[in-house]
Amino acid sequence: MFETVQTPPPFVIAAFYHFFDFPDFEAMRMSLYDRLNALGIKGSLLITAEGVNSTMAGTRGAIDAFLDYLQNDLIGAPVTWKESYADYQPFGKLRVRLKKETIGIGEPVSMKRFGQYVEPKDWNALITRNDVVIIDTRNDYEVNLGTFEKAIDPNIPNFKHLPQWTRDNAELLKGKKVATFCTGGIRCEKYTSWLIDQGIEDVYHLKGGILQYFEDVPVEQSLWQGECFVFDERIAVDHHLQPSQTAVLCLHCDHALTAEDQQQASYVKGVSCPHCESDVRHAHDRPPTQKRPGRIKF
């Protein structure tokens, strides 16, 4: 009997961020774009004076070539990234963007100290403790598709609203350990640094984020419920890092929708969903196929 050799999907999706001093980031924009474009890579690379933040997709060889350049030539240090795979290119174009911050929290952050990293294999033990508050630092439309058991959803439309939510809910954190998580880890780096700046010292964050948890923790041991939103045309991935078969975006408000959301009477494809039916901006005569400005760009 001959064994069947499975061919890996042709596209590798690499998600990464790295904080480092990058004073000439503006001057590097076009050369980075040209290098990525020559490799046939698409996706988004954000560059700032404090580092890089990216999700990009390309062939195995292309991704390996760029990450090798990134680590050995541009940064000069190892970079950790998360990989998943697709049978199709999940991004429509390549963007290299200049930003003031790698990820913006809306307030000054020292970025001198961060919360304690928690390896995915140790995460379950931490978040099942009675003296721990678990905060999902992602946006509302991301949380809608899935989150950890017992996690608090701040119900924020944007990461920049998290500091004010924290001040408004200070009693929830009093005397507790604070465990935070996000998709790949970058938001938690910034949020835990901000928390420490505010005098909240006993803070932790999931190393590598949800995507690393999916990779390292067996499904049968998982405390994750649902799927994980991703910023590309897959919309979400399951615990096996496979593209969602059910999640869609509302074409009116760009909210991510579960299969259950799509069964609601308020869901009319291209017109409305349970998350925007009461929004006054929903009352319009726009044909369902008309392009809308949209919040989420792929």
Q: Provide the annotated active-site residues.
A: 182
Q: Do the Cβ atoms of 221 and 124 come closer than 8 Å?
A: yes
DSSP 258: -
Q: Which of 251, 191, 241, 172 is nearest to 213 (CA)?
A: 241
DSSP 2: P
Phi, psi of 231 (to 5 degrees): -90, 60
How far apart are alpha carbons 76 and 78 in whole angstroms?
A: 7
101 class by beta-carbon count within 10 Å (0-12 exposed, 13-18 middle, 19+ buried): middle
- Residues near 21 by beta carbon (within 8 Å), at least 6 away in sequence: 49, 50
Q: Do the Cβ atoms of 51 and 22 come closer than 8 Å?
A: yes
